[in-house]
Every structure is written in structure tokens, then in C-alpha cells.
């Protein structure tokens, strides 16, 4: 949003300036998705992550191995590692939006 600020001192001197304020929306991170090809919830779609083009996303299996990572999130995770569907189960993620906000971490469940 663009705001115009005007200040008038006691002598009637006036100064104006405009400032553009951009509100960054918080991420909405689902904790379950079902990449089974039925067209519903086939991708781990993180709402508002597109507002953070330098974000990094990492997904780990229960052994701590990275199974997905990206800088930016132009294409949401499809539940595959190297083109092969990952097993049903719980996975862990770390999301760094890259704008001095706290790092987000948590779990997600892959169902089929």
C-alpha cells in the first residue's frame, strides 16, 4: 500500500513524502497431502511461500536424509524423490524464508 505523509510545523512549513508499505503474509503450511494422482492435494502446496523468492525448503525422512530441497518454491513438492514416490509416512521440513523471520520447521504426513 502506498501512503502519503504530510507534516506541518507551527510556522506553517509543510513537508510531504510517500512510503510504500508491503505486508508479508504468514505461511500456511499443510501437515498432510496425498500425492496419488487424483487431482486433489497432489502437491505440498505452501500458501504465501511465493512471496519469499529466496526461501529455502528442505524435507527429510525419519533417518534425517534430505529427500527434497529447493531454493524458491516455484514447483511444489510432489511427494517423490528422484522421480520415485516416497513411502507413506511422516517427514520433517525446514523452511527459511530468507528475510530475518524465524525458521519454520515441523512435520508432514504423506498419504496415498
Model pLDDT for residues 35-92, shown as the tens digit of each residue: 999 999 999 999 999 989 999 999 999 999 999 999 988 889 999 999 999 999 999 9
β-sheet bridge partners, residue 6: 16
Domain membership flag for residue 13: no
**pTM (2 decimals)?**
0.79
Residue 50: which CATH number? 2.60.40
Q: How many domains does the chain have?
A: 1
> Is pLDDT of 24 > 80?
no
Q: Cell numbers at residue 55, please?
A: 526461501
Residues 107 and 31 sit within 8 Å (Cβ to Cβ): yes
**Cβ-based neighbour number of residue 29 at 10 Å:** 17
Nearest Cα to Cα of residue 76 among 20, 112, 27, 18? 27
Domain membership flag for residue 18: no
Angstrom distance (rounded) from CA 26 to CA 9? 39
Residues 93 and 110 sit within 8 Å (Cβ to Cβ): no
Domain membership flag for residue 88: yes
Amino acid at each position: 500500500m502506498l501512503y502519503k505523509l504530510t507534516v506541518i510545523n507551527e510556522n506553517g512549513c509543510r513537508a510531504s513524502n510517500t512510503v510504500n508499505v508491503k505486508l508479508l503474509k504468514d505461511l500456511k503450511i499443510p501437515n498432510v497431502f496425498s500425492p496419488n494422482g487424483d487431482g486433489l492435494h497432489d502437491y505440498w502446496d505452501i500458501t504465501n511461500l511465493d512471496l519469499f523468492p529466496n526461501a529455502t525448503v528442505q524435507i527429510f525422512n525419519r533417518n534425517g536424509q534430505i529427500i527434497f530441497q529447493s531454493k524458491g518454491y516455484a514447483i511444489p513438492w510432489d511427494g517423490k524423490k528422484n522421480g520415485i514416490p516416497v513411502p507413506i509416512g511422516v517427514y520433517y521440513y525446514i523452511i527459511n524464508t530468507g528475510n530475518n523471520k524465524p525458521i519454520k520447521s515441523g512435520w508432514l504426513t504423506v498419504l496415498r
